[in-house]
Amino acid sequence: MPDNFKAIVISRDADKKQSVAVTELSEAELMEGDVTVAVEYTTVNYKDGLAITGKAPVVRRFPLVPGIDFAGTVLSSSHPDFRAGDKVILNGWGVGETHHGGFARRARVKGDWLVPLPGGLTARDAMAAGTAGYTAMLSVMALERHGISPDRGAIVVTGAAGGVGSVAISLLSRLGYHVIASTGRPAESDFLEELGAAEIIDRNELSAPAKPLAKERWAGGVDAVGSHTLANVLSMTSYGGAVAACGLAGGMDLPGSVAPFILRGVSLLGIDSVMAPKALRLEAWRRLATELDHGKLAALSRTIGFDGIIGAAQDIVAGKIRGRVVVEM
């Protein structure tokens, strides 16, 4: 590999004005870590879109290479679990926020942040799932741990055409759940049905201020939206149900009531993909390798090159992206 490699770098000036540039870095400019990886594939996630557009304070150290996940091959390692030639995946741990991330041809990170690429998945497959798919699987696992099985009733998935939503629909439907997909893009109905959605509802049904309790409509949910949407999902969850909250596309607030919790015994399950312990990560990736339909994985993802990252980041924040965007580095 050449000494210098392409990278996207976010900088901020003395007036805290952010700028984004495509530049070249050397391996000496990478941050501390005990494993150096040749990045083969990465993705454009919603958080990456916020970082590049500056719509939210995702980046907390400047200058920084964004990109919250990647898959690739170990070039060198002093970590006991990895050696040159190993295939690995990274999600979270502040990468792309406080530590140089995946939007560069190489990355140097702590080996404790990496997981092995499971058998049955290529590096591209792993990023077609990516942090969104890994988060969706963590959400499904949380619902299962709470006892929300297919015979309990329907599961609603909000932000259904997005990365987390599209993978969650595919996973849940394959596991036998009746999936209700909530979306603001009715043109994506056929796509969502192909992924396994049994019903599709307009997101406007969930976007108004929520009643303390509404008619029971589902046993659980996977919510990537937050705000009024999450409050409505909770108010419509049946007795003893649970909702996995994993995103904030609609806002960080939760303008709801305690009524679902104290009158229906509903549980709100927080999903953190960034700092999740390694045992959970390994289980999530093992299950993604075996339970995510590869045909559907191909349908819900498209591949772009490095030069398309910035445009895709702008589009994902504008709500113009469906499914997953994989970047071939």
Longest dimension (CA), the chain: 63
Q: What is the band of 40 on the pLDDT scale with cuts at 50, 70, 90?
A: very high
pLDDT at 2: 54
Mean pLDDT of the chain, nearest integer: 95
Tell me the mean pLDDT in the region 33-52.
96
Q: For 153-184, what is each residue's pLDDT tens digit?
A: 999 999 999 889 999 999 999 999 999 999 99
Domains, the chain: 4-117+300-328 (3.90.180.10), 129-270 (3.40.50.720)
Q: For 245-280, what is each residue's pLDDT tens digit?
A: 999 989 999 999 999 999 999 999 999 999 999 999
Place of tokens 């596309």: 249
Can you give the three-state secondary structure of 151-216, one letter per residue?
A: HHCCEEECCCCCHHHHHHHHHHHHCCCCEEEEECCHHHHHHHHHHCCCEEEEHHHHCCCCCCCCCC
Contact 91, 138 (CB under 8 A): no
Q: For 64-90, what is each residue's pLDDT tens digit?
A: 999 999 999 999 999 999 999 999 999
Does residue 322 register a pLDDT over 90?
no
Residue 137 host element (H or E): helix 123-145
